Amino acid sequence: MSDTAKIRVGILGASGYTGADLVRLLVTHPNVEIVLLTAERKAGLPLGEVFPHLVGYDLPDMIALNDIEWSAVELDVVFCALPHATSQEVIKGLLHATGHSLLDELIVETPADLADSVQSEVKVIDLSADFRLRDVDTYAEWYGRVHQAVDVQKRAVYGLPEVYRNAIKDAHLVACPGCYPTAALLALVPLFKAGLIKTEDITIDAKSGVSGAGRSLKETNLFVEVSEAMHPYGIGNHRHMPEIEQELSIAAGSDVRISFTPHLVPMNRGELETIYVKMGASQTAADLKGALVSFYEDEPFVTVLEGAAAPATRMVRGSNNCVLNVFEDRIEGRAIIVAAIDNLVKGSSGQAVQNMNLMMGFDETTGLLQAPMFP
């Protein structure tokens, strides 16, 4: 593909904050043309009416999912920023509708009406939780429903580039990690891979800005309820737990069970995780730090801070960066790892674009090199 050729991109679910941040990143991506935006309640509107900060960009009006003509729109990449559960239905449907080659390997009988069509190769990048959990029983347990696209799920690649870069390059369907898992896994996977920390008593105390709760109308998201206030939520039962445990268990080579408690903080963006771990015998915080430095040496978006600098969300605001550091705990044999990301960028839309770059053979950092915005 030439430097200037542009791929045709669609965003399903463009009227939420994740959709807005995808558009923010993609309108300056040199290889992308946005040709499809969907929304349900706000179908028919230009995006600039729903997000006035995007007035003036040359973007298609939003249409309802049911009004998409898959054959006509000829997408190269679909970002799916739909709610959980909806996502699996829609992705399954679009694979069928486009006679996707991915299905050939999965389904014995290709639908008759697709028999003659040319097999498409649209790449799907899902930002929902629908394809993150490898085990469908775990999915059923935590999401309270049977998975409706099990075969498709099996083909999904977990979209954490720092861990699964090669698999992502070849994937047709990438399941982008949740925001909380992204920070937790970037902090812990290298340590488990290196065998430096114990699987028991992993305690993740997470803090997030409010954009993570989406644009839905809930009393708890009103300015007056959130401003000058903070509180934990989902204590002991947040759905990001099994996702974190799945990936940590793979990295550790044995079952890991974590304690994870998220908190709502009065800020728009930003996510900070303070992680308490037990080290292996004779390990030190410096050993852990060394392992992270080494693991992320060549990574464009992960920085291990020098000295005792504490990661802060203001260091990554608006950017695809993750900053990490490791500290001695006062309790002997333990260490504290702190990770900060922007929940909407590395925790969501930015990582999705990073995955797109990998899947399409672009330089991985294309369109993602904005400096963080501070102030």
Is 28 a binder of a copy of itself (CB under 8 A)? yes
Helix (H, G, I), strand (E, B) or coil at 7: strand
Query: Least Å distance between CB 207 and a copy of itself?
Result: 6
**164 vs 296, which CB is nearer to a copy of itself?**
296
Query: Least Å distance between CB 359 and a copy of itself?
Result: 23
Restricted to residues 284-343, the positions that interact with a copy of itself (CB under 8 A) are 303, 305, 308-319, 321, 323, 327-331, 334, 336, 338, 340
Take residue 296 and report the two structure tokens written for it: 């992320």
1 within 8 A of 25, measured Cβ to Cβ: no
Q: Which residues pair with 259 in a beta bridge?
A: 203
**94 vs 204, which CB is nearer to a copy of itself?**
204
**Can you tell me the distance from the alpha carbon of 5 to that of 76, in angstroms, rounded to the nearest whole number?**
12
Largest distance between two CA atoms of the chain: 67
Is 160 a binder of a copy of itself (CB under 8 A)? no
Query: Least Å distance between CB 316 and a copy of itself?
Result: 7
Restricted to residues 336-375, the positions that interact with a copy of itself (CB under 8 A) are 336, 338, 340, 344, 369-375
Sheet containing 123-126: which strands, arranged edge to edge?
62-63, 32-38, 7-12, 77-80, 123-126, 173-175, 157-158
Take residue 115 and report the two structure tokens written for it: 């028999």
Give residue 68's identity as a one-letter amino acid code.
I
34 within 8 A of 23, measured Cβ to Cβ: yes
**Can you tell me the distance from the alpha carbon of 276 to that of 203, in angstroms, rounded to the nearest whole number?**
5
Kindly indicate which of the ranges 68-76, 95-103, 236-244, 356-364 contains the residues binding a copy of itself, using the contact rule CB under 8 A.
236-244
- 179 included as an active-site residue: yes
Among 5, 58, 72, 218, binds a copy of itself (CB under 8 A): 218
Write the binding mask 78 to 117 for a copy of itself: x where contact by CB under 8 A, - elsewhere. Answer: ----------------------------------------
Q: Which residues are catalytic?
A: 179
